[in-house]
Structure 1
């Protein structure tokens, strides 16, 4: 890269640029992009993954927030007919603008840690458009995404992502693969939206509300943490033991509780 196109990573954007060729190759092999694919890369940075995705022949849209990176990316890739850049905030990006067929969009990103959770929730609102997602995230976030009931990692993020997707923790990446190196380990995760939801809720917004309420005070029993929403009898009617803590319940039990709340008559 010539001197005029050097770019210093910016802390306010949470930038840590991937530079390890072995890790880049391993990520690209996990994604297995093909010429017929419709790809979306969030936060391409200096183009570490972009080049490999484009060389597959796939149609690639990229969303980059940092205006200073736009000329770097355009200089590298604008001559390629399958490259299209959108400058803006992925948290506010309207994915329907891409006119992707339902279930076709393949999303990739080395996500800044400070926006990873809200961005995943934003993407899940468009899950019907998405075939799969491959993200580089903080390792502890991936552990929460892939967690099962009964442990401290199981919580709102695990439940709401697993409601929509199958989660695979693929492999870990050490700080040395980045410039500057972050203070934490990273990991690659694959999220595949379910074609048919395994535990469909009558109203997923009610499920989101109930799960948020349950984990607001995760050390308390469900009887206490959900008392503003459901009585002890209503919790029992859903086939759930109200003396359990939220982390002890699986997704199906949370859906039963949410459906009980959805069907609850409005008083007043």
Structure 2
């Protein structure tokens, strides 16, 4: 970084270095440092945690994380165009940033996570990979203290939805079963460059301890996929693709055959998954 560039804002550095957002990667930058500071404050104290930022881009959120002095700081960035900006930022920082150039969706986090509950994840996620990444982190949730993530508002509503709400679905059931979720605030499209057509929502997600084994979690995925795949149908019809005796499954779970997926509370879906796990082994 040249002496002339040292005191430039992230927005100015992005323009000078021709680092314009790529639509194919779902990139939307936040240049307002007050906003990125607010996002990072929402993650709570960082001093005792290993912090991971997914998709730092030009480094706006990265700068705010540095100010909170994390125990260790690692970023994962797919776009190599940002290498110089991020490496210059690391050199300027009192806390060295470890930068991994990789696609977070394909990255093997088992190489990274070591100590349970010692990691915090903070990210302005591209809309097109936000849910796949969140589902990926289910596998590693025992290592994570919290996730502070930006989602498209419609996706956040699906995550937060309760039964008998049009947004309630498979995502609601699986994510709420695994996380306690706190809605923090909405962000106007004007805060991003380029400006998206929709609002974003910041969520904190805190992993829950669950007593369900791997097979039962797989069954929950299969049951919710079948049930919400045809959400307007009664469960006696929508669950047929599970290829077991559906009447027996519903009877054991004490669910009426005429009920629909959108009416079933999360706890009942968990019972369905447990009973399906037993019945499919017969």
Name the TM-score class by shorter chain: over 0.9
Distance 2:17 2:91 in 1: 15
Please state if 1:76 is matched with 2:89. Answer: yes
- What is the 5 A alignment of 1:115-264? 115-194=129-208, 196-197=209-210, 200=212, 203-229=216-242, 230-264=245-279
TM-score of the superposed pair, with normalisation by structure 2 = 0.89
- Describe the shift of the 1:24–1:266 C-alpha distance in structure 2 as closer, same or farther (beyond 3 A): closer
Match of 1:50 among 41, 62, 67: 62
Q: CA RMSD for the aligned pairs?
A: 1.7
> For residues 236 and 70 of structure 1, do their structure 2 counterparts lie closer, same or farther at Cα, with a shift above 3 Å needed?
same
1:33, distance to aligned residue in structure 2 (A): 3.5
Q: What SS does the aligned partner of 1:184 have?
A: coil
CA shift in 2, pair 1:191/1:76, >3 Å: same
CA distance, structure 2, for counterparts of residue 211 and residue 117 of structure 1 = 16
Q: CA deviation at 1:44?
A: 0.6
Whole-Å separation in 2 of the counterparts to 1:174 and 1:105: 29
Distance 2:281 2:143 in 1: 34
Specify the SS of the correspondent of 1:189: strand
Distance 1:220 1:175 in 2: 36
Partner SS state of residue 190, structure 1: strand
Matches of 2:50 and 2:115, distance apart in 1? 9
8 Å Cα contact 1:57-1:82 kept in structure 2: no
Does the CA contact (< 8 Å) of 1:235 and 1:257 recur in 2?
Answer: yes
SS in 1 for 2:277: helix
CA distance in 2, matches of 1:265, 1:153: 30
Distance 1:237 1:34 in 2: 46
Residues 1:61 and 2:77 aligned together: no
CA distance in 2 between partners of 1:116 and 1:28 (Å): 18
Deviation, 1:235, is 0.6
Q: CA deviation at 1:100?
A: 3.3
Q: Which runs of 5+ in 2 are unaligned?
A: 1-11
* Equivalent residues, number: 265
Larger mean Cα displacement after TM superposition, 223-232 or 168-177: 223-232
State whether residues 43 and 146 of structure 2, in contact with CA within 8 Å, keep that contact through their aligned partners in structure 1: no
Partner residue, 2:45: 33
- Greater mean deviation of Cα atoms: 230-239 or 165-174: 230-239
Q: Which structure features the higher share of helix residues?
A: 2
Q: TM-score, normalised by structure 1?
A: 0.93
**Partner Cα distance (1:176, 1:21) in 2:** 14
Alpha-carbon shift at residue 233 of structure 1 (Å): 3.0
Give the Cα–Cα distance (whole angstroms) in 1 for the partners of residues 217 and 110 of structure 2: 21
Deviation sequence 1:132-157 (CA, Å, 0-9, x none)? 10111100111111111111111111
SS of 1:192's partner is strand
| 1-structure distance, mates of 2:142, 2:46 | 21
Kindly state the Cα deviation for residue 54 of structure 1 after the two structures are TM-superposed.
Answer: 1.5
Q: Structure 1 unaligned runs (5+)?
A: none
Name whichever of 171-180 and 4-13 sits farther off.
4-13
Quote how far apart the aligned CAs of 1:168 are: 1.3
Mapped partners of 1:118, 1:45: distance in 2: 19
Between the aligned partners of 1:64 and 1:38, the Cα distance in structure 2 is: 17
How far apart are the structure 1 equivalents of 2:30 and 2:42?
16
Partners of 2:240 and 2:16 lie apart in 1 by 60
